[in-house]
Structure 1
Amino acid sequence: MPLNNVAVAVVNGVAPFELGIFCEVFGIDRSAMGLPVYDFAVCAVEDNPLPVGDGHFALTLPHGPERLEEADLICLPADREAATRDYPEALLGTLDRAVARGARLLSVCSGAFMLGAAGLLDGRRCTTHWMHAPALMRRYPRALVDPDVLYVDEGQIITAAGTASGIDACLHVVRQEQGAEVANTIARRMVVPPHRDGGQAQFIQRPLPRTACDTVGEVIAWMARHLDEEITVEQLAERAHMSPRTFARRFLQETGTTPYQWVLRQRVLLAQELLETTDETVDAIAGRCGFGNAAALRHHFLRTLGTTPNSFRRAFRGPRAVA
């Protein structure tokens, strides 16, 4: 089912930040940038007006639950009482029918409890915010909850962890349906990375101290501009005016990954974009991405994405694909 019609199901006590994620990714007209415009609606499924943000304010929404019946993608933001409350049977029936007709459902944070209540997590791998994962496991024991990932794509059911990973999951869906160029342009407009490595464990085990700014940001920007060159920790540490050991430790703290893994992932992402948007050969793309040759690109592409560069190109470019 193509991604044209997007609707958000809003229950009482919805978390405004998570609601805002869907509005930001799918609800803004970016046609002037050459991006698709979604038929977007925010739908009240309980009271209207409805309380928001622990009752600090209220929203009056233009659509009711009937609007969800025609959506290609139904978005489920978090709500404050998800772990203990019950959801309207009408909403749960709507979600069940949506899956039956081929629509996709995307939850963020505790929005996963709506999917669980509808029985749509049974036997499926899923995630939620690490704080809610134990409650989700207890309440829906047939759900295969993975608390250590940013999001899980199970085809028609996509679940995201915390707020930022909701952006990750939304961009993932856009990329799947409309390609890397569209997703990357939206990410650039939102001033967020098109893809983040890592999982929730980095936030659970190693919370970052509050700082006025990160200390490796300028080095990361330089790395992104020089992916086609050999990059060493020693070289990066010198740019950051640190010892290699201190730089490696600080980089891990601020990004959740190592410099090598960061560069490798960015090279694979660049290769994906070039495979999809250009007619350059795999050898040429390997050189532009810093892999050196097609064999190295194929090795890392297969290891990271589970497919080959040529298979990826055929899947995303169809008849336009070249070897």
Structure 2
Amino acid sequence: MLSNMLNQCSEDTRLSIVVYGIPNKDCDAGLSSGGSVKSTDDYKAFLKQLTDAVGDRKVLYVVEPDAVGLLAKENSCGSSAGYLENLKVAVEALSANANAELYVDVGYWMLADSTNSAKIAPIMQELGTCGKVKGVTINTSNYRSTDECTTYCTNFQTAMGKSDMSCVVDTSRNYNGSPTSDWCNVQTAGIGKPPTSETGVSNIDYFMWIKPPGESDGECSTGGTSAGSFYADGFTKLWDQGYFVGEGGLKTIAAGTGVVTQQSNQTSAGSSVDQISPVDQEVSGVGTVAPQDTDSYQTPTTTTASAGSGASQSYTITPTATQAPTQQPTQAPTQQPTESPAEVIL
């Protein structure tokens, strides 16, 4: 199944894959726990299935959202859950492909000050000895502004004592920044800058849409559909308050000829949602978006490889090339880890 999905992507494109299957994942909040990967042996099999399917293709891996943050966080469960040893396993396995770029996800909140950044550094240094770690991802599924994330990246490099590892930023919903600590379907959020490698920031390699715009964080107090499903009203707000309207010269959905609907996913601008949001194709109704090599609005390609709860390994793919970044705990943006990705039973 995974190989068939990957075959939809042109050989000359770079895949973007979020690897989210570590045993005991989301050990803090437990919202994305479960799944078929229960042990290190299971994890090795999960990774082998993924790497066999990818082969030697160009690929950017976002490695295990939340894991390093939960490992470094004081009195957290990451250590007892065996995250460090399993992260080493992942880095070694994914690095076997000479055309792979690895960015290990770290919680943005762990880079907000020098004390916590210093806890991240030794973990990343150790992981760097296991394979080709190019850097870290920041703001996964969250709303922190690009300027704020750039500061976090600088804090990370300062803690590391060198700048050979750089960063990727999830810009999918960060256009207006995060005025509060709210993480669930934030009503003031806007779609951020499109995925690209041309970030204009020396220590940020890529902007990436890791959280697909329009994907719900859950049925929270501000409204929303079930976690992982398409949330039409949420997408409308993201679009109307985001980059494409604010800087791209495009119309708001309200100013167009129609509305976004759950059924047709059509926008008032006459485009399908998967054209406006950078999702070219969705599997099980959820896409994952990443950045491209140029600053165009074309759709990029991202895949989420996950050991989803209650099922076997699952993969979510969006065909098109990308080069991509991300970062933060995954469930929705915030310090709580995120909902596991859509599932395709293999």
TM over 0.5: no
Instruction: Using structure 2 for the length normalisation, give the TM-score.
Output: 0.31
Computing the radius of gyration from Cα coordinates, the structure with the larger value is: 1
Larger RCO: 1 or 2 (CA < 8 Å, sep 6+): 2
Instruction: Using structure 1 for the length normalisation, give the TM-score.
Output: 0.33
Write 1 or 2 for the structure with the bigger share of helix: 1
